[in-house]
Structure 1
Amino acid sequence: MAQKAAKTLATRNAATLSRTHLISAALHILFLILHFVFGRPRSLKPYFFLAVPTLAIEYYLDLVGRPKFNPDGSLRTAGEDLNATGLTEYMWDVLYWTHGCIFAACVFNDRAWWLWIVIPFYSVYLAYTTVMGVKKGFAGMGGGSAESDARQGPKSKTQMKKEKRGDRPKQRAVR
């Protein structure tokens, strides 16, 4: 059963990587053809500064996600899961956003490279939400008593009815 899961992962990774390489090659070739053949005013400086690092990301994703086979054709390793969350997901986001920026630069000229500024803002947003999530997770670990937690938490319908009648919830002694 585990071998079936590995084969499925290997097939999915190979298809994802092939599709990504084709899209990336088509966009880069389109940009370079528009720059060199048609002589449209495009600067190569932002292209190399912003698009070439994503080629390194693409190479890294290929390195860790490409399935490897034995000489007899059997699967040696399926590679890492390219649909994993965390850093892998962020790298895909950067790669896809850069593909969009290259396409926009082909259509709208060099001003479209300014769209790339979204990536640092997105990084700050992800870092902020991660820190706040960790902080929220640690908030309930100590410092508060059960009595203060009961007052702050949501109340059930039964608790609200008892309070309305004047009944107070009974506190149990902690042993």
Structure 2
Amino acid sequence: MAKKALKSQAARNTSILNRSLLISAGIHTLYHLLRLLLSPQRSLYRYIPLSLPSILIQFWFERIGRPRYGPTGEAQKAGEDLEAKGLTEWMWDVVYWSWGCIGGAAVLGDWVWWFYVVIPLYSAWLAWTTFAGAKRGMAGMTGGTDEGGAPGQAGSKRQQKMEKRGAQKVQYRQ
């Protein structure tokens, strides 16, 4: 049972990368087949730059996530966690949305590429909510003042209820 976590991480990463490779190959093949058979006027000028981010992200995931095996066949490096929160999760969202746009463009036509605009909008929304959350978190570090700048309203709800009932007021030291 030595290195059980390393082995399970390596197996999980291999499974995720193989699945994403097959899905990506299938979607891109579908696009090109339908483009050649049904509508040769579909634009490669849109396809190439709009599918490039998902392809680059997948190459990046292959580089950081694919396990490395030694000469004996034992996993030496499991690779980075491909199910991590934060940037990795956002990158998977970009890949999934790109696949959806490619599949939609293959079936419905080139106008579906306009849905790709959602990615920058989603990124801006994530950045704004992250910034707003950090701003709110930093507001608690201002020394316990309320909106008007007067001290006294800091503390838990329980403390505020006790003070409201007439219990002894809690004094905060500076």
TM over 0.5: yes
1:151 to 142, 150, 153: 153
More helix by share: 1
Give the CA deviation at 1:91: 0.8
Runs of 4+ that moved beyond 2 A: 37-41, 142-146, 148-156, 158-164, 167-175
8 A Cα contact 2:145 2:153, kept in partner: no
Structure 2 distance, partners of 1:33, 1:133, is: 46
Q: Could you report, residue by residue, the CA deviation over 1:111-131 in whole angstroms, capped at 9, with x for unpaired residues?
A: 111111000000001100111
Partner of 1:11: 11
8 A Cα contact 1:51 1:98, kept in partner: yes
Partner of 2:135: 135
Instruction: Using structure 1 for the length normalisation, give the TM-score.
Output: 0.86
Partner of 1:48: 48
8 A Cα contact 2:10 2:67, kept in partner: yes
Give the CA deviation at 1:172: 3.7
- Cα distance 1:10–1:149, how it changes in 2: closer, same or farther (>3 A)? farther
Q: Does 1:169 align with 2:171?
A: no
8 A Cα contact 2:153 2:160, kept in partner: no
Q: Could you report, residue by residue, the CA deviation over 1:52-78 in whole angstroms, capped at 9, with x for unpaired residues?
A: 231111100111000000011011100
Q: Which residue type is aligned with residue 97 of structure 2?
A: W
Give the CA deviation at 1:174: 3.9
Q: Does 1:125 align with 2:125?
A: yes
8 A Cα contact 1:41 1:109, kept in partner: no
Give the CA deviation at 1:41: 3.4
Give the CA deviation at 1:25: 0.3
Structure 2 distance, partners of 1:66, 1:173, is: 53
- Cα distance 1:163–1:143, how it changes in 2: closer, same or farther (>3 A)? closer
After TM superposition, the structure 1 = structure 2 runs for residues 97-108 of structure 1, keeping only pairs within 5 Å, are 97-108=97-108
8 A Cα contact 1:57 1:91, kept in partner: yes
Structure 1, unmatched stretches of 5+, are: none
Structure 2 distance, partners of 1:140, 1:39, is: 59
Structure 2 distance, partners of 1:173, 1:160, is: 16
| Count of aligned pairs | 172
The 3-state SS of whatever aligns with 1:39 is: coil
After TM superposition, the structure 1 = structure 2 runs for residues 28-39 of structure 1, keeping only pairs within 5 Å, are 28-39=28-39
Give the CA deviation at 1:170: 2.6
RMSD: 2.5
8 A Cα contact 2:53 2:95, kept in partner: no
